[in-house]
Amino acid sequence: MSVARPAVPSEPRRVEVLERDRRPVIVAGERVEEVLEFWVVQSGWWTERPVNRRYWELVTIRGRRVVVFCDIETGGWYTQAA
Amino acid sequence: MIVCVHLPRFQLTVAAGGTEALAGRALAIAPSGDAQLVGDVSGTAQAKGVTAGMGLGEALARCPQLVLVPEDPVGVLRAWEAIARALEGIGAAIETPRPGVAYFDADGLRSIHRDREGVIAATRRAVARPSRIGVAATRFCALAASLQARSRRACIIDDRDVRRYLAAQPVSLLGYRDQTAPLVPALGRLGISTLGELAALGASAVTDRFGNAGTLARRLALGYDEPLRTRRVEDRLEESMALGDSNSAEALSRALGVLIDRLLARLERRDRTIRAVVLSALLVEHGGTWCERVVFREALANPLRIRLALAPKLGGLPAPAQALTLAVTAMGPASGDQTTLLDGERTARLERLRDAVAQVRTIAGPHAVLRVMAVSPAARVPERRYTYTPFLP
């Protein structure tokens, strides 16, 4: 038995998001009830792996607080413990 | 017989990106640090009067077309380590005083590679790049021979000819040995240009004027040398970590702590202490590199003491770093740290905990017992704030 090297604690995980006007509407099958906060992170533009993301802190219809972001380079959606 | 493998301008070749990059171009390693002295120079630059160790102003005055190449110490170490491992792969126990020069005793290899020519052919295959090979009874004489050898033909000095051969060599050869290098300019000022002239001086006179370095230089000139100090073949332990956009002293120190924890948790270490490490970084600017070799005053296995010894070195980083790497270059005996005389209960409890953690790692691998460590809590990208690091009780 051998334990694989774990990812970092806040490693982004892929999530299914339905968006409308570039805003998340349904996250992992749960409708978005409220947007608490929105921010942009742009970093490492001087390196080969720049970070260019739009973050949303949301409350879903079940009352769950989630943080998701859209990777502007690839268009993919991720959830993250932020 | 000692074989010397010499790769001329090795640092420049690696920094410039290969031997082809040197062809027909006046290149030199850019000065680093306060002393504005150029490093290795290409053949074209040398033909225009530029030499390694020359002041930058004088070098540019002599050759206005001189192109300065930033040094790449990490690339040089990696490339040289690959060559050293390849030489060890043919059975050679090597001594490598600096990247680009390696010595080994060929006598023990004759049974593997048939004869001396077989050893030389195997050496060329292992190095796999243009190299000069000298063979002689001592490493100093083998080095002198390698400097005169052609790239396709080894220069072999017979045992009986060593003293005569060395007598005709310039005293600048002493510059290749750290202990005797400072003597070269002084000998030049005294009008002593060959090793034969140095050997002709009385032993007491040389010792009186130059001390131990003079005695060693005269012994080398007479064809005597110390035995090889070969390195031990060991697993290479290395850990790297990307730093992201945070380069504060605190973040660097935390990243260093993670690397030390990971190295100490590696099973290949087998409880041995660490005697020497190489701390290196990939810089943000133009993909340059920086590295610093640190030899501890005593072999260590305590993460806190290793961190205390290494953290001040990070102050020497010439530019922000993209990634930090820590590699072990020499191991010490197993578990050298002394425990405290008093507080035996606490020490015993810690010992039991260490045993338990080691047992779990043996069963489940090096990533089994971890703790979360804040690397850069203020980083804007969340995954760069915390990381897992091996738990060391």
Is the pLDDT at B60 greater than 60, yes or no? yes
**DSSP code of A80?**
-
Averaged pLDDT for residues B293-320: 89
Domain of B245, CATH number, reads 3.30.1490.100
In a domain, B199, yes or no: no
pLDDT digits (tens, 9 = 90+) for B253-281: 888 998 998 888 888 888 888 989 999 99
Assigned domain for B342 exists = yes
> How many other CB atoms are there within 10 angstroms of residue B285's CB atom?
12
Residue B366 resides in a domain: no
User: Which residues does chain B have within 8 Å of residue A41's beta carbon, measured at their own beta carbons?
Assistant: 380-381
CA-CA distance, A12 to A7, in Å (whole number)?
Answer: 9
The residues pairing with B27 across neighbouring beta strands, listed in sequence order, are B67
Which chain A residues touch B372 with a CB distance below 8 Å? 9
What is the number of domains present in chain B?
1
% of chain B residues with pLDDT over 90: 32
User: Which range of residues forms the domain containing residue B306?
Assistant: 237-346
Neighbours of B196 (CB within 10 A): 18
Does B96 reside within a domain?
A: no
Q: Grade residue B286 by pLDDT with cuts at 50, 70 and 90.
A: low
- Does any domain span residue B2? no
In a domain, B288, yes or no: yes
Rg (CA), chain A: 14
* Closest by Cβ to A1, choosing from B364, B383, B387: B364
Those residues with Cβ within 8 angstroms of residue A3's Cβ, 6 or more apart along the chain or in another chain: B364, B365, B367, B368
ipTM of this model?
0.83
Tell me which residue of B205, B219, B206, B245 sits closest to B379, measured CA to CA: B245
Whether residue B90 lies inside any domain: the answer is: no
Is the predicted pLDDT of residue B348 greater than 90, yes or no?
Answer: no
Shortest CA distance from B287: residue in chain A: A47
Determine the residue of chain A that is closest to B362 in CA distance.
A2
**What confidence category does residue B383 fall into, taking pLDDT thresholds of 50, 70 and 90?**
confident
**Average pLDDT over all residues of chain B:** 87
pLDDT at A17: 93
Residues of A with CB under 8 A from a CB of B: 1-6, 8-12, 41, 43-44, 46-47, 51, 80-82
B373 vs A9: CA distance, rounded Å: 10
Q: How confident is the model at residue A61 (pLDDT cuts 50, 70, 90)?
A: very high
More confident residue, A72 or B334: A72
What band does A2 get if pLDDT is binned at 50, 70 and 90? low
Which of A51, A57, A79 to probe by mutation at the B interface, max B CB count within 10 Å? A51
Output DSSP code: residue A5.
P
SS3 A70: strand
Q: Is the pLDDT of residue B185 over 80?
A: yes
**pLDDT class of B246 with cuts at 50, 70, 90:** low
User: Count of H helices and E strands in chain A?
Assistant: 0, 7
In a domain, B156, yes or no: no
